Structure 1
Amino acid sequence: MIVKPVPSFKTIVREVWKPLTLLFVWDVIVTVVYYILPFRAPELPLTLFGSAVALFLGFRSNSAYQRWWEGRGLWGLMINASRNLARATRNFLPDPEAASFKRDIVFRQIAYVNALRCQLRRQSFDDATLGYVAKAGAEIAMQRGNAANGLLDGTGRKIDDARRAGWIDTIQQSAMESVLVDIANAQGGMERLKNTPLPNHFRFFPMLFVHMFCILLPFGLVETLGFATPLGSTIAGLMFLAVLAIGDDLVDPFANEPHDLPLSAMCRTIEIDLLQSVGLEAPSPIVADRKGVLW
């Protein structure tokens, strides 16, 4: 996620420079032909066309942002639920008998959120994930098709073991299980967003209409702008192409791109809070890189 207060103009141009270059060449061709050949371009209702295209783009961008914001809300729920699980583990389980058990629950939850992060990003499990899996002794959960869900199931069994050992009662177990339900619901919502792309017509038609508008744009401007048509038409096209690119950037909030959610930073936040809750040393938070991107 880009956290700089002002977006980089280079980043925007980098995403749209190819269609923008083609648009500029097309604008030059239309302008040259207009002055060389004895014809006049038909008057086009650009205001009407532009309004229709803007309507499509606005609806698409809002839909993409809703997906991005829902993903952020689900990860916010995950952070809070992880803290609640650690607090319940710390307060319900007795010391010193269950001290090792508390650390196992914390390690397992940290491994869980990192495994979920890797699954959502379609990445192999990294050292941060596997390290906490080893600390929690949860290697068998990684053999499942949904390793994150396997880790969560194992946490539920651990809580039941604590009840059987007499460390917690059924009411406390139920309270901790309700937290696991919240975690499972958040994971289900994330998987729904990841596995359900934006409907095809939401993606195809705005792209088609924007490119059609950019093709027609110089015909409507050449009479007024003259030799400045390539510049004016390209700048106007940049506005529409940039909005189109923004929708593409936001539609998958869990991809590992600069505009996507900072899953690594949020997993580190959970790691810090949970380790500190059981009195263990925690690493430093992840900060944005030199380009202003928080991963």
Structure 2
Amino acid sequence: MIVRRNLSFRQMLFYAWKSMLYFFLLSVIVYFLHHELAIQKLSVPFEAVATLSTALAIFLGFKNNSAYDRWWEARKIWGLLVNYSRAWGREVLTLAGDESGDATPEKNEWRRRLIYRHIAFVHALRVFLRQRRPYNKYQDEYVETSNTYDDIRPFLTRDEADEVLSKENPPNYLLMIQGRELLAAFQRGWISDYRFVKLSETLTEFNNHQGMSERIKNTPLPRPYSYYSRVFVFLHGTLVPFAFVEVLGIFNIPLALLINFIFLSLDQIGERTEDPFENRPGDTPLTSISVTIEGNLKEMLDEADLPEMPPMVKGTVL
């Protein structure tokens, strides 16, 4: 997630330079044909382009609002995951014990295993949502700390990690193992029926968080919004030089570039915001949130070896 106020001009040009080159060459050609070769029938009525500009601005505004809603929903889902993860740690440490309160080494190890397995679930869910797009397009500016399933191995036994990673949906399978462990504890009398139900409800919330995240991941913004916005932006950008060439002369070139850059930027903002789990600089900072959850749960276990937050890279929280 980009948190700095000033964006990199290089990053903006990364997406826009080909389109801007097209609009620049078009503006130069239109100027040359109209003023140097005296072809007078090249101009387009300004009112027509102004009407198109207004319609396009409304369309892009609607698209960007919809894209931002998707981004903000993703952030709220992972914010809830932070809250319920803390609740899970508290419930495991306070509810997951027999009625006598006897804290045997076996039970303490069981509680620690439940919490560590949940840390593995959070990291696995992060990788599961991001794995379809490798983080390589921004290697010149951004560096991802880690985005592999190897991140879950420190929190599981070797056999359990191998079993989980052999599944098509590792985070979902981790929740299944958690449910089995709760059932086994209930059958052994470590937790009462009420506490078993309460802990199971928290696991269900984790299923909900995963499902809501997958819904955003697997359901893109309707493709006509993206396709027609690009078509309209290029149609509008192609007409802009013809609307000002007669009045402004050579100054039509920088003005056309400025207008087209604004509309291109609006279109790209929506394109880069609609998919918040694509592991790009502007996406939801899943790595930082996962490390936050890991640190909070380890602190509940009174462990001193807490993870370090990933460093901010050029104004971007990973």
Q: TM-score range by the shorter chain?
A: over 0.9
Q: How many angstroms does 1:37 deviate by?
A: 2.7
Q: Distance in 2 between matches of 1:226 and 1:138?
A: 68
Q: State whether structure 2 residue 110 is matched by structure 1 residue 101.
A: yes
Q: Which of 75, 80, 90 is matched with 2:93 structurally? A: 90
Q: Output the amino acid matched with 1:191.
A: E
Contact map agreement 1:82 1:270 (CA 8 A) in 2? yes
Aligned position for 1:52: 55
Aligned position for 1:279: 302
Q: Distance in 1 between matches of 2:88 and 2:159?
A: 16
Aligned position for 1:217: 240
Identity %: 32
Query: Per-residue CA shift, 1:30-57, capped at 9, x if unaligned?
Result: 1111112331413132221100110111
Q: How many angstroms does 1:177 deviate by?
A: 1.0
Q: Output the amino acid matched with 2:104.
A: P
Aligned position for 2:26: 26
Aligned position for 2:138: none
Q: Distance in 2 between matches of 1:76 and 1:86?
A: 16
Q: Distance in 1 between matches of 2:96 and 2:159?
A: 17
- Within 5 Å, which residues of 2 pair with 1:199-238? 199-238=222-261
Cα distance, 1:129–1:276 mapped onto 2, change above 3 Å: same
Cα distance, 1:259–1:136 mapped onto 2, change above 3 Å: farther
Query: Per-residue CA shift, 1:99-146, capped at 9, x if unaligned?
Result: 101111111111111111111012673332222233794532222211
Contact map agreement 1:64 1:250 (CA 8 A) in 2? yes
Contact map agreement 1:57 1:243 (CA 8 A) in 2? yes
Contact map agreement 1:265 1:287 (CA 8 A) in 2? no
Query: Per-residue CA shift, 1:159-215, capped at 9, x if unaligned?
Result: 112212212101111111111111101100111111111111111111110110000
Q: Output the amino acid matched with 1:284.
A: E
- Within 5 Å, which residues of 2 pair with 1:35-74? 35=35, 36-40=37-41, 41-45=43-47, 46-74=49-77
Q: Distance in 2 between matches of 1:136 and 1:276?
A: 26
Contact map agreement 1:138 1:151 (CA 8 A) in 2? no
Aligned position for 2:84: 81
Q: Distance in 1 between matches of 2:96 and 2:204?
A: 20
Q: Output the amino acid matched with 1:275.
A: K
Contact map agreement 1:142 1:150 (CA 8 A) in 2? no
User: TM-score, normalization: structure 1?
Assistant: 0.95
Q: Output the amino acid matched with 2:79.
A: G
Q: Distance in 2 between matches of 1:25 and 1:65?
A: 33
Query: Per-residue CA shift, 1:223-273, capped at 9, x if unaligned?
Result: 222111110000110000011111111111001111111111111001001
| Count, aligned residues | 294
Gaps of 5+ in 2: 98-102, 133-146
- Within 5 Å, which residues of 2 pair with 1:122-137? 122=131, 125-134=148-157, 137=160
Q: State whether structure 2 residue 125 is matched by structure 1 residue 116.
A: yes
Contact map agreement 1:141 1:154 (CA 8 A) in 2? no
Q: State whether structure 2 residue 175 is matched by structure 1 residue 152.
A: yes
RMSD: 1.6
Q: Distance in 2 between matches of 1:58 and 1:136?
A: 51
Q: How many angstroms does 1:74 deviate by?
A: 0.8
Gaps of 5+ in 1: none
My pick for the range that moved more, 229-238 or 115-124, is 115-124
Q: Which of 159, 171, 193 is matched with 2:194 structurally? A: 171
